[in-house]
């Protein structure tokens, strides 16, 4: 259960812009009566009281005790439920100095305003019917987006594409349930003929639920990204490939063995997929205690990785993989890269990808394979597809999926219609929970408590 108690009757405030010095900061305020209450702190109080919704007004915020001006501000007014939260609201545009922002906070607290809890503004938007739960979750997913595609997918959910799809599925289930309940009224405890059983509607709903479930992997891929580790012996060109993937000189490249004694991490994107890329210490026997620690960390990263690029030096005559490399090469998540093909007479291992990290020859093919492996057969998306990335959404879709499957199985087994109706109601309950229609308060507060303050 959340440690926060979301009380919609309080007037709340929070910094909606980034915390830190900046030219301008925005403080969001929400709650019935907030405009009148704030007007008592505003130099042009009568102007504010008479102001129309969606207008901006200049003035000063005044300390009620000292009667001194705290800051010059612009105040945006939102009346009659025409705000983000669905409540009477205002936004204070002030100077973005931390000292000044904290001074405004103190004045608001003196006036009886309460500091907002994480996600409380979006919680109020949900409770007042401005957004459904999938849209509310999309707000934080937009904030946390790590790539252009992830941002686009979350924006589509905020626009309601996931809610609309769920609603379409619900209509199919409701129609099927109506047919069955009608039969129960007239033929209680008797299974109806297949021609009258709403099999097609249930199968259609099930197919759409399963298709939506299939998007979870790709949704998480673009939202959370992957760990890609460059591994292999010393001086195989891992650092050169690392720099090539980053398109910058990030890692030191040297012919001296063991230059990289600890791992180097950097962020990049491949085809919109956020990637944490690691250049690691070369795998070899070493008596150097520092290098030994680096190798130990490398092995730990390999275990935790989503993909390993095992880089070998193809220019070494008669090169053979070490026992450790042989084991690593057989793992499903490993791509063997035979580097240094620019040196001429090279031997490329079977099933590996030839590459010159120095000239980038072979890099396009390798990059395509990396993306393919990371996607793992997930459906492709251009940012317009309906995709889920929330574990909660996946859980509820699984519940709906199982209930729909059971209803079809029970029909085949000629079980009573009232049992089938129970399963269809279970599917509707799961779909309703997805959009927040039947979600408990504890679950809601747990979801919104993971939001940032000010959202």
- Is residue 133 classed exposed, middle or buried when 0-12, 13-18 and 19+ CB atoms within 10 A define those classes? buried
Lookup: tokens for 2: 């959340």
Lookup: tokens for 284: 């070899």
- Pick left, alpha or beta for residue 235 (phi over 0 → left; psi -120 to 50 → alpha; otherwise beta): left
Question: CB within 8 A of 47, min separation 6: which ones?
Answer: 57, 59
Query: How many Cβ atoms are within 10 Å of 325's Cβ, its own excluded?
Result: 19
CA dihedral 367, 372, 375, 381 (to 10 degrees): 90
| Contact of 37 with 112, CB cutoff 8 Å | yes
**pLDDT number for residue 430:** 92
Out of 3.30.2130.10, 3.40.50.300, 3.30.465.10, 3.90.10.10, the CATH code matching 227-375 is 3.40.50.300
Out of 3.90.1510.10, 3.40.47.10, 3.30.1370.100, 3.30.1360.120, the CATH code matching 12-130 is 3.30.1360.120
Query: How many Cβ atoms are within 10 Å of 329's Cβ, its own excluded?
Result: 17
Residue with tokens 């809601």: 444
State the Cα–Cα distance between residues 202 and 404, nearest whole angstrom.
Answer: 7
Strand blocks (E) in 271-404? 273-279, 307-313, 334-339, 353-354
Radius of gyration of the chain (CA): 29
Domain boundaries, the chain: 12-130, 143-215+386-436, 227-375
Closest CA to 426 of 436, 438, 440: 438
Output the CA–CA distances (angstroms, integers) from residue 142 to 79, 111, 150, 155, 410, in the order listed: 26, 33, 8, 7, 41
Closest CA to 309 of 213, 240, 238: 238
β-bridge mates for residue 170, sequence order: none
Closest CA to 424 of 443, 441, 435, 409: 409
**pLDDT number for residue 194:** 46
pTM exceeds 0.85, yes or no:
no
Three-state secondary-structure class, residue 58: strand
- Domain 12-130 and domain 143-215+386-436, same fold? Reply is no
Question: Mean pLDDT per segment of 10 residues, for the chain of length 455 residues?
Answer: 69 91 94 95 94 95 93 94 92 94 95 92 90 88 82 87 92 89 65 66 94 87 88 86 82 52 81 88 66 75 90 81 86 91 77 90 93 77 75 92 95 88 92 79 66 69
Please, where are the H alpha helices in 332-416?
363-375, 391-412
State the Cα–Cα distance between residues 106 and 144, nearest whole angstrom.
Answer: 30
Lookup: tokens for 431: 């779909």
State the Cα–Cα distance between residues 347 and 326, nearest whole angstrom.
Answer: 16
Q: How far is C-alpha 240 from the chain's CA centre?
A: 32
Question: CB within 8 A of 7, min separation 6: which ones?
Answer: none
Query: How many Cβ atoms are within 10 Å of 368's Cβ, its own excluded?
Result: 13
CB-hemisphere CA count at 13 Å for 211? 13
β-bridge mates for residue 15, sequence order: 27
CATH top-level class of 143-215+386-436: mainly alpha
Q: What element of type H or E holds 241?
A: helix 238-246
State the Cα–Cα distance between residues 403 and 395, nearest whole angstrom.
Answer: 13
Backbone angles phi, psi at 162, to 5 degrees: -70, -45
């Amino acid at each position: 259960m959340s440690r926060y108690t979301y009380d919609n009757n309080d007037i709340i405030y929070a910094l909606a812009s980034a915390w830190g010095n900046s030219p301008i900061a925005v403080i969001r305020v929400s709650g019935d009566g907030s405009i009148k209450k704030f007007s008592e702190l505003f130099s042009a109080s009568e102007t504010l009281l008479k102001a129309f919704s969606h207008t901006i007004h200049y003035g000063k915020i005044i300390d009620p005790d000292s009667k001194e001006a705290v800051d010059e501000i612009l105040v945006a007014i939102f009346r009659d439920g025409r705000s983000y939260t669905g409540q009477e609201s205002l936004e204070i545009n002030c100077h973005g100095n931390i000292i000044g922002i904290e001074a405004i906070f103190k004045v608001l607290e003196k006036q009886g305003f309460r500091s907002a809890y994480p996600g409380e503004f979006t919680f109020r938007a949900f409770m007042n019917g401005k957004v459904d739960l999938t849209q509310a979750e999309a707000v934080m997913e937009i904030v946390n987006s790590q790539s252009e595609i992830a941002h686009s997918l979350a924006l589509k959910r905020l626009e309601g594409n996931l809610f609309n799809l769920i609603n379409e599925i619900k209509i199919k289930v409701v129609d099927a349930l109506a047919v069955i309940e009608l039969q129960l009224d007239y033929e209680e405890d008797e299974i109806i003929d297949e021609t009258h059983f709403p099999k097609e509607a249930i199968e259609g709903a099930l197919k759409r639920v399963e298709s939506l479930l299939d998007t979870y992997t790709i949704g998480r891929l673009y939202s959370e990204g992957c760990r890609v580790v460059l591994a292999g012996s010393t001086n195989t060109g891992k650092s050169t490939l690392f720099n090539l993937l980053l398109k910058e000189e990030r890692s030191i490249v040297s012919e001296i063995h063991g230059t990289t004694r600890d791992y180097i991490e950097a962020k990049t994107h491949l085809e919109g997929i956020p990637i944490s890329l690691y250049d690691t210490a070369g795998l070899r026997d070493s008596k150097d205690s520092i290098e030994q620690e680096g190798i130990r960390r490398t092995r730990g990263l390999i275990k935790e990785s989503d993909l390993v690029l095992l880089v070998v030096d193809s220019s070494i005559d008669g090169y053979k993989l070490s026992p450790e490399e042989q084991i690593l090469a057989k793992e499903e998540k490993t791509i063997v890269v035979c580097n240094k093909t620019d040196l001429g007479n090279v031997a490329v291992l079977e099933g590996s990808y030839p590459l010159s990290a120095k000239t980038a020859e072979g890099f396009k093919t390798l990059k395509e394979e990396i993306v393919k492996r990371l996607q793992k057969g997930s459906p492709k998306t251009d940012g317009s597809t309906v995709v889920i990335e929330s574990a909660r959404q996946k859980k509820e879709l699984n519940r709906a999926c199982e209930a729909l499957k059971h209803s079809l199985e029970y029909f085949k087994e000629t079980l009573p219609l009232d049992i089938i109706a129970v399963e269809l109601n279970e599917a509707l309950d799961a779909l309703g929970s997805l959009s927040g229609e039947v979600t408990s308060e504890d679950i809601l507060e747990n979801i919104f408590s993971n939001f940032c303050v000010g959202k």
